[in-house]
Chain A
Amino acid sequence: MAAVTEAPPPLAPTTPDKKPPRRRGRLTPYWLLLPGLLWLVIFFALPMIYQASTSVQQGSLEQGYKVTWHFATYWDALSEYWPQFLRSVMYAASATVLCLLLGYPLAYLIAFRAGRWRNLIMILVIAPFFTSFLIRTLAWKTILADGGPVVGALNTLHVLDVTNWLGWTAGDRVLATPLAVVCGLTYNFLPFMILPLYTSLERIDGRLHEAAGDLYARPWTTFRKVTFPLSMPGVVSGTLLTFIPAAGDYVNAELLGSTDTRMIGNVIQTQFLRILDYPTAAALSFILMAAILLMVTIYIRKSGTEDLV
C-alpha cells in the first residue's frame, strides 16, 4: 500500500501541424450545398424573376411582349378579380378551421389514447395519399351527387335549409356550391393538419398532465391551460400547411364548384392557359403570394409561437 509508484513520464509534446488544414476539407459543406442551391436557382429563383418580368410586360401573342414597366396591370387585375381573392381567403380559412376542428381531436386521440392502434390510425390518415389528388376530388363528386344518399340525408335532417339560408348551398344541391368546395378543400388538406398536430401533441410529457391534475386542474382545464398551449407549434404549422395551399388551390373549385365559386387559382389558371394573358396571370400570382406572406406574418406574430419551447 505504501509503495510509491513513479508518475508516468509526460507525453512527448506534439509537434503542431505545420500545414494549414486542407482547403478541400473546409469547403466540403459548400460543395454539399451546391445541388440544393442549383435546384433552387433553376426551379425557384429563375421562374420567379421570369414571372416578375412578365407581369410588367405589354403586348400580344402575335406581336410579342416587351417590358414596359406597366405596373397598372397589378391594379387592373386586383380591381377586376378582388371578389375571387376574397372568396379564396374565405374558403381557405373555412377549410382550415374545419380541418382544425376535425383534426385536433383525431391527433389527440392518436397521441394519447390510441395505444396499440396508433400506427394503424396513422396509416389510415396517410392512406388517401396513395390515390391521386384528382381521383379523390372526383370521388367527392359522386359522394355529393344530386339526389345521392348524402344530399338526401342532409335534406331530411333539414341541414340544407340552414346552409341555404347561410348561402352555402342552393336549393336541393350541394354540388356546385361553396359548401362542396370547402368540403373538398377540408378533405384534401386534412392530413396536413393532423400530422403536425400529432407531432407536437405526442412530444408533450404525460407527467405534465398528471402534474396539472395534481394541482387541482380538471381534465378540461388541463387541456386549456397545459395541453393546448403546448400544442401551439403544431396548430400554427398545421394551419399554415392547410391555409397556404388551400388559398391557391383551383382543383376543388374546378371539379366541385361552379362559376359562382371560382377561386383565384381558377382565374390564374384560365388567364395562363385559356386567355393567354400572361402579364395579368403573372401579376395575379404575385398579388396572391404577397397577400399570403402578409397574412402568415401577421398570424405568426399574433400567435406568439416564437416564444414557445
Chain B
Amino acid sequence: MTTTDNSGDVRLSGISKTYGSFTAVHPLDLTVPQGSFFALLGASGCGKTTTLRMIAGLEEPTLGTVHLGDQDVTRLPPYKRPVNTVFQSYALFPHLDIFENVAFGLRRRGIKSVKKQVEEMLELVQLGEQARKKPHQLSGGQQQRVAVARALINHPKVLLLDEPLGALDLKLRRQMQLELKRIQTEVGITFIHVTHDQEEAMTMADTVAVMNAGRVEQLGSPTDLYENPQTTFVANFLGTSNLIEAEVDSRSGDDIVLKAGGGKLSLPSARCSAPAATGGKVLVGIRPEKISLTAAADAGEIPEGRNRITGRIADSSFIGVSTQYVIDSPVCPEFEVYAQNIDRDARLVPGAEVVLHWNPAHTFGLDAAQDIDAGVESVEEEAA
C-alpha cells in the first residue's frame, strides 16, 4: 500500500451522462490522486451519484473516459474493475450470513481459503462475534460496517462510498465518520465519498468537489472551500454566507473599495473572484461567525479600518455555545451573525440598534451576475 505509485489514481476525462434530453452530468474532468479521501458534495439530483456509478461501471458514460491509474476502464463491466462500492442502502445479501457476505468478493475471484482474511476483516470493523448472523439481525450501524468490510476485503484500488451514512442517526453517523477516516488512513486506499451533508464532507475528506446541476462548482480542501468560495452556490451551500450587492468605488493599494447602502466596505482584491471594474457590481460575502456585534451607543469604540454596517436586531436565538442573530440592515434584510457566548451584552436583544463590523481580510467577492440565493435552500446542519 505505498502511495508512490499512481495505480489508484482516478482520472475522469470529459465524462458526461445524458438520459434523453436530461443531462445528469456535464462533461467533467477530474483527477483523484492515489490515497486521497475525496468527497463529491451536492444536493440530491446534482449528478454526484451518477458520477460515482460511472466510476464503478454501473452506468456507462455518454461521452468521455474513466482511467484507473494507466488503465482505461470506460468499457469494462463492473465485475472486471478493481473498484468496490459501499451502497447507500448497503445492499447486503439477505440470504447469506455476515461471513459469507464479506467472503463474497474473494470467492468470486476463486480464492479458496478465505477464513483467515474474513475473520481479520470482521475484527477490523469489530464484528467478529456476529459472523454467523444474517444481515437483518444486525443494527443499521453494524450493517454499514459489514458493507464496508465486504468492499474493503478485496483491496480495491478505489473504494466508492455512496451516501454510506445516510440511514444512520446523528450520533452513530459522527462515530462512523471518524471510523471510516481511521480505516482510510490505515489501509491507504483511495476513497471517493458521495454525500449531501457538507459537514460530513468537511470532516472526512482531504479534497471536496462541490457539485451543482451536473457540474463541479468548485474543488479544494474544506478550509479553502469554506474561506474562499468562488460561486454563490458554494458560499451558500457550504455553511452560511451573508451576500451584499455592492458597487466598485475605487481601489486603494491591494484593496477594492465598495459602496453598499451609503457606507463603504473594503475587500482584498486577491479574494475577489469577479472582475471588479470601477462602477461595476460585485457580491460581497462574509461568514456569520466572522462578524462582531456592538450596540449602536458604543460605535465609537470600534477600531478604525474595520468594515461596518448598521442595522437592527430582528431576531436572536440562543443555542448554547453561541447566539445566532438575524439583523435587519439597509444592505441586506436578513444578515446573519453568530456570536460566541463569552461576554454577553444585555443590550443585544431584538429591536436594538447595532453596528456589525469585521476585519476586511475576511471579506470575499463574487461575480454579481449569479443568482444570489443559489444553494441556499439546502437544509442547514446545526451550526456549532
Contacts and interface: CB of A to CB of B under 8 A. Distances in A.
Interface of A: 1, 205, 207-208, 210-218, 221, 225-226, 229-230, 308-309
11 contacts: A208-B91, A210-B78, A210-B87, A211-B85, A214-B83, A215-B79, A215-B150, A216-B105, A217-B79, A226-B95, A230-B94
B108 interface: yes
A229 B85 contact: no
A221 B78 CA distance: 13
A1 B317 CA distance: 9
Given A211-B87, A214-B57, 15 more contacts: A1-B318, A207-B89, A211-B85, A211-B91, A211-B93, A213-B57, A213-B77, A214-B56, A215-B154, A216-B79, A217-B104, A229-B95, A309-B94, A309-B95, A309-B136
Interface of B: 56-58, 77-79, 83-85, 87, 89, 91-95, 104-105, 108-109, 134, 136, 150-151, 154, 316, 318, 349
Contact of A210 (B58, B108, B134, B316): B58
B293 to A, nearest CB: 15
Contacts of A210: 58, 78, 85, 87, 91
Contact of A214 (B85, B89, B316): B85
Contact of B93 (A1, A221, A226): A226
Nearest to B77: A213
Contacts of B93: 208, 211-212, 226
A contacts with B: majority SS? helix
Contacts of B105: 215-216
Given A1-B316, A308-B95, A309-B94, A215 B87 contact: no
Contacts of A226: 93, 95
Contacts of B92: 211
A3 B13 CA distance: 61
Given A1-B318, A309-B95, A309-B134, A217 B89 contact: no
Contacts of B85: 210-211, 214
Contacts of A216: 79, 105, 108-109, 154
A215 B91 CA distance: 12
Contacts of B154: 215-216
B144 to A, nearest CB: 14
Contacts of B318: 1
A218 B91 contact: no
A230 B104 contact: no
A221 B84 contact: no
